[in-house]
Structure 1
Amino acid sequence: MRLLTSEEQEQLFRNCRRRAFHLEVQDSYAVEDEAEALAKFLETGEFEYDPEWQHWDDLMREVTESGRLVQRVRVVTEPHTDYTRFLYATTGSNIDSGEDIRWLPRHAIAPAELTTDDWWLFDDDAVAFTTFRPDETLGGFAVTRDPKIVEYCRTVRDRVWPLAIPHAEYRITQ
């Protein structure tokens, strides 16, 4: 596996021919560019869109408007963590940019049917694992095309996608 630069990460999306799928299994993330918005959300209960996120939304719009799918399943613990509530509040901008996001309560699937890592599966032939630094901040993507790993992630995707609840139907709890 090789750790990708930011530019290489974006190229994975641009080079994707049909489908990019993301599995998220953490209940919280230490995302540096979300820290201020998260703090405000926890203080006020209201989400304020950060213009720094526009780059991601533009990339997703570029991909989805060309007919390619971008899908996510967020596996979450109930009752929800503060971060999950924040993530739920931010999801509207992802949906507006064309992403199809679903939620899967952790109790609805056996742990052995998931992975413990977050990853993106691109066109059923490359997996980009999300890496984390020792301080738990995001480190980037490490990509592999190993056919056994790709097949395993495809199997997990095909298991979780039909179980997950579309964002418009999922309700967040306090």
Structure 2
Amino acid sequence: MPSSAPPFSELIARCERSAVHLEMRDAYAVDYEKGPFAEWRAGFRHDPADRASWWRSWLGLIQETVARGVVVRRARIVSEPVSEYTRFLYDGTFTNVAAGEQVRWLPRRQASDIALPGNDYWLFDGRLIRWNHFAGDGASGGGEISEDPAAAKLCAGAFDAVWDRGIPHDQYEIR
């Protein structure tokens, strides 16, 4: 039976080999009036050379995890032409890569024959799933934990299929 999720930092701290994240939405809830997305829409872009200006605790957590020998990979299935939010994600993904994440992008048309779970997720060590639930407007609906072997097998297979077809971040061209 699934249960509510402990903090992500606790889940990744227990991870020993791999953490994979599959993202399948074209937009997630953001404040269009203020904050990072609004600043990006107004033309602000992080300077990759000014690491101190964009480094944040999430990136430190990923860097520490990778330093422990855990492989952290993220795959994003995106509609093309991409949404404005996907452009925002793309522009900031260099920070994930700098922290040690491997990131790939897969155009949604190339995912049509892949059996995908109904929700975004993190899969830790191929066995523990953290489902990410969202409302229709993209707001977080909370996380949920599952160790169901059949669901973990579905998530692992889906991620591997997306990863195999995905385009590495440094080679993906926004359309």
Instruction: For residue 113 of structure 1, give the secondary structure of its aligned residue in structure 2.
Output: coil
Closer/same/farther in 2, CA of residues 167 and 135 from structure 1, 3 Å limit: closer
Secondary structure of 1:161's aligned partner? helix
Deviation of the 1:142 alpha carbon: 0.6
**1:110 is matched with which residue?**
112
Q: What residue number does 1:150 align with?
A: 152
1:47 is aligned to: 45
Matches within 5 A, 1:11-30: 11-30=10-29
Following superposition, the deviation at residue 133 of structure 1 comes to 4.9
* Match status 1:166 vs 2:168: yes
CA distance in 1, matches of 2:116, 2:145: 19
Aligned to 1:57: 59
Distance in 1, Cα, partners of 2:113 & 2:27:
18
Structure 1 position 40, deviation (Å): 1.6
Tell me if structure 1 keeps the 8 A contact 2:28–2:137: no
Q: Is the 8 A contact 2:46 2:53 kept in 1?
A: no
Match for residue 87 of structure 1 among 73, 86, 89: 89
Q: Cα distance, 1:52 vs. partner? A: 8.6
Whether the 8 Å CA contact 1:5–1:140 is kept in 2: the answer is: no
The Cα shift of 1:97 comes to 0.4
SS at match of 2:82: coil
Q: 1:123 to 1:5 in 2, by over 3 A?
A: closer
Aligned residues: 169
Structure ranking higher in helix proportion: 1
Query: 1:148 is aligned with what amino acid?
Result: A
Q: For the residues of structure 2 that align with 1:170 and 1:114, how far apart are their CA atoms?
A: 22
What does 1:93-132 align with in structure 2 at a 5 Å threshold?
A: 93-110=95-112, 113-132=115-134
Instruction: Tell whether the 8 Å contact from 1:26 to 1:76 is kept in structure 2 after alignment.
Output: yes
Identity score, percent: 36
* Unaligned residue ranges in structure 2 (runs of 5+): none
- Work out whether residues 31 and 138 of structure 1, in 8 Å CA contact, stay in contact via their aligned partners in 2: no
Tell me the secondary structure at the aligned position of residue 120 of structure 1: strand
